[in-house]
A = this chain, B = another copy of it.
Amino acid sequence: MSTPPLVDVVVVGAGLSGLTAARRATQLGLTTRVYEAADRVGGRVWSTTVAGVHVDLGGTFVGPGQDRIVALAAEVGVSLYDTYDTGANVVRWRSQVKRYRGTVPPLGAALLDVARIQATIERAARQVPCGRPQDAPGAAALDAQTLGGWLRQQHASRTARDLFDLVSRTTWGCDADHVSLLHVLHYIHLCGGLSSMLDTAGGAQESHFVQGSHEVAVRVAEQLGDAVRTDEPVTRIDWDDDGALVHTDRGSCRARRVVLAVAPTMRRKIRFNPELPAAHEQMAQRWPGGVLSKAYAVYETPFWREQGLSGQGLSDRGPVFITFDASPHQSREGVLLGFVGGPQGRAWDELPEAERRVRALASFADLYGPKALEPIGYIDQKWGADPWTGGGPCAAPSAGAVVPYYSHLATPVGPLHWAGTETADRWSGFMDGAVRAGERAAVEVLRSISTQADSTQADPTTEGAPA
């Protein structure tokens, strides 16, 4: 058998984070190879075409402050356009349909309570140091609770709890009852606050990509050329302080460093020899991936606009509970994007596609009338059933999993470095966080290789320097 090839960096995972790491590593003069388990690049970013129109099945929106994804997209020639945000939003709540403006729906007296909860959360979020949630005042007590448990303890109204469930499902892919409160506060702080996280204009849903977000990944992968191998899951990594031997079903590759740009829970799909430190493995067991689905209906025109509606809607009935107008740039079709999740979403996920379509369209019709029942195209994507990402939109640690384990998310282990949006120090959970983490990992690898080279050169036992 021939000796496996040697590169400076093997990157595991060709999502935005892994591709960025490989791209930056290449720019820094390092040789790279990228292994992707799925048969496509992009990871939790994926687009397709329905009735001739682009839809983003995964990460979609970008907003102010997300300058790394914006810069990367610009560098590869993918452009942005504003999310349609004209007209009234619409909410279906307790069987009533109402129009409203802004982010917060008109839910009567309950809104006072929502405002109280929101203010409490914002205040608490600012107390959680970015990148060091375990050092927040009272971190253990915050981590011991779920967002949902805390809302009950605050005697939040049913309406406030239901609203935050919708936020939780869209943001973390889980019910408020499933996610550590400390993680929620840290995440919000990394976004710069709830408004920045939830708003369309001025917030994280402000714009999206003309060619689709997946095109960013595709173009970066094209630049990397043969270095990117899809449909080739990494099965085992043998490692020591000097480097690693990375195995796939098709062969092996030696690497001075490895960047694992996969979600925390997916790190467990690889066998490490020697095993990862116990605490790392324990962390990976406690940061599960989210369970969120997206449904797209494509129409001949964005008919809701004629009714003075923005396409932004909210529903307590489901299965679709939040909608956006995701119509293409400079084209006549209209596209509604709906998010599906929570207990209803898990049931919906198990239905056959035809049935999912019927129910998703019924949700759109609840908000936008019977015209919504007659699309020219439909598609959905169940991230909770995606085998190679471990779920989406991102990982959400369970209660108690932040204080003991957060520090292991991104701490290198020998030659193994970690990327993926969960490891980002800003906009963690977003495409921007994925890019930031990839860039950070590439620089980390370069430093580590340089340090090793320096110490090797300075070491008289290996260099045989004169005494």
**Residues of A that sit less than 8 Å from B by CB:** 140-141, 143-146, 148-149, 152-153, 174-179, 235, 265, 268-269, 271, 275, 277-279, 281-282, 285-286, 288-289, 291, 343, 346, 349-350, 382, 384-385, 387, 390-391, 398-401, 404
Contacts and interface: CB of A to CB of B under 8 A. Distances in A.
A162 to B, nearest CB: 13
A164 to B, nearest CB: 12
22 contacts: A141-B149, A141-B152, A143-B177, A144-B146, A144-B148, A144-B178, A146-B400, A177-B399, A178-B398, A265-B285, A268-B269, A269-B271, A277-B350, A278-B350, A278-B382, A281-B387, A282-B288, A285-B288, A285-B390, A285-B391, A398-B399, A399-B400
A410 to B, nearest CB: 18
A279 B350 contact: yes
B143 A145 contact: no
Contacts of A281: 385, 387
Contacts of A143: 177
Contact of A278 (B179, B271, B385, B401): B385
Contacts of A285: 265, 285, 288-289, 390-391
Contacts of A400: 146, 148, 174-175, 177-179, 398-399
A155 to B, nearest CB: 12
Given A269-B268, A285-B265, A285-B390, A401 B279 contact: no
B278 A404 contact: no
Given A148-B144, A177-B143, A398-B400, A384 B269 contact: no
A299 B292 CA distance: 57
Q: Which of A140, A282, A285 neighbours the largest number of chain B CB atoms within 10 Å of its CB?
A: A285
Given A177-B143, A268-B268, A390-B285, A399 B149 contact: yes
B144 A404 contact: no
A268 B270 CA distance: 10
A114 to B, nearest CB: 19
Contacts of A146: 144-146, 149, 399-400
Q: Which of A153, A174, A404 neighbours the largest number of chain B CB atoms within 10 Å of its CB?
A: A404
A143 to B, nearest CB: 7
A12 to B, nearest CB: 16
A269 B267 CA distance: 10
Nearest to A145: B149
A147 to B, nearest CB: 9
A206 to B, nearest CB: 31
A235 B236 CA distance: 11
A130 B401 CA distance: 27
Contact of A398 (B152, B271, B401): B401
Contacts of A145: 145-146, 149
Contacts of A401: 178, 398
A17 to B, nearest CB: 20
Contacts of A174: 400
A373 B84 CA distance: 73
Given A143-B177, A279-B349, 7 more contacts: A144-B152, A265-B268, A268-B268, A275-B387, A281-B387, A286-B288, A286-B398
